[in-house]
């Protein structure tokens, strides 16, 4: 689901300034597995994550607990490969902070529910989705830069509250950075943090099927729509 102007212009400006400062200070880390991308975390973003939790809880219609967040600057040649997220990303938001050129489409595959949806975001626009349920991706960025943030939560009273600390994810990332762990062992750890198959994806998430609907910032809950668009690409 896409919500236009979910972040105010003041919020976007503050985040953009923080990202620019981190880039100038050299604190953004290059990630080769996402193409030409710079990745960072900061205490400022962690605090902002907590500050918007109530607003995002209203969007999903239930109390949420923050798990983790991260920030990326994508350059020409960067991409987001098609994937599903680990369980600590039960309820997710991706928000655009800055585009130097045209918006970079973000795709979500809702399967038999809605087919593939294509979202285009301007600064302040946010897409909300269930990362472990629905595959999502971006094609290769042809030119320019895209500054994007990702925030993740689990339900306060849901089955994945145990994933709040994301310990297995930290172990996996540390092992990956070390360069001493075999590909086979890394893959085994990855599957523990991001299972390719859930026993029953929709039932595992309490029957939640959140499909796209564009709403105004003042509207508080996800709108459920059923367009029966099983194969086509729907733009928002």
Express each pLDDT in 26-65 by its tens digit: 777 776 555 566 666 678 898 999 999 999 999 999 999 9
Under a CB-based contact definition with an 8 Å cutoff, are residues 149 and 40 in contact? no
Is position 184 within any domain?
A: no
As a whole-number percent, the residues of the chain with pLDDT over 90 amount to 44
Q: In what order do the strands lie in the sheet with 64-75?
A: 2-3, 126-129, 91-99, 145-155, 64-75, 37-40, 29-30
Is position 169 within any domain?
A: no
Express each pLDDT in 9-28 by its tens digit: 999 999 999 999 888 887 77
Q: How many domains does the structure of the chain reveal?
A: 1
pTM of the model: 0.72
Is position 188 within any domain?
A: no
Domain assignment of residue 93, given as a range: 2-163+198-235
pLDDT over 50 (residue 172): yes
As a whole-number percent, the residues of the chain with pLDDT over 70 amount to 65
The CATH number for 50's domain is 2.60.120.620
């Amino acid at each position: 689901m896409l919500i236009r102007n979910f972040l105010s212009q003041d919020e976007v400006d503050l985040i953009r300034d923080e990202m620019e400062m981190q880039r100038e200070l050299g604190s953004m880390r290059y990630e080769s597995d996402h193409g030409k991308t710079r990745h960072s975390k900061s205490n400022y973003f962690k605090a902002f994550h907590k500050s918007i939790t109530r607003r995002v809880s209203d969007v999903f219609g239930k109390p949420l607990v923050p798990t983790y967040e991260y920030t990326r600057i994508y350059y020409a040649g960067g991409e987001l490969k098609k994937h599903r997220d680990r369980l600590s990303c039960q309820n997710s938001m991706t928000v655009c902070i800055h585009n130097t050129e045209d918006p970079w489409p973000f795709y979500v595959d809702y399967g038999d529910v809605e087919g593939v949806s294509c979202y285009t975001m301007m600064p302040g626009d946010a897409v909300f989705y269930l990362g472990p349920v629905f595959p999502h991706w971006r094609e290769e960025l042809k030119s320019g830069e895209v500054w994007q943030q990702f925030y993740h939560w689990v339900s306060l009273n849901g089955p994945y509250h145990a994933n709040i600390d994301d310990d297995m994810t930290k172990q996996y990332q540390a092992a990956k950075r070390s360069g001493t762990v075999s590909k086979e062992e890394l893959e085994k750890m990855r599957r523990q943090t991001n299972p390719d198959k859930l026993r029953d994806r929709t039932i595992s998430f309490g029957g939640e099927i959140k499909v796209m609907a564009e709403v105004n910032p003042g509207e508080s809950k996800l709108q459920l729509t059923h367009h029966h668009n099983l194969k086509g690409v729907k733009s928002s």
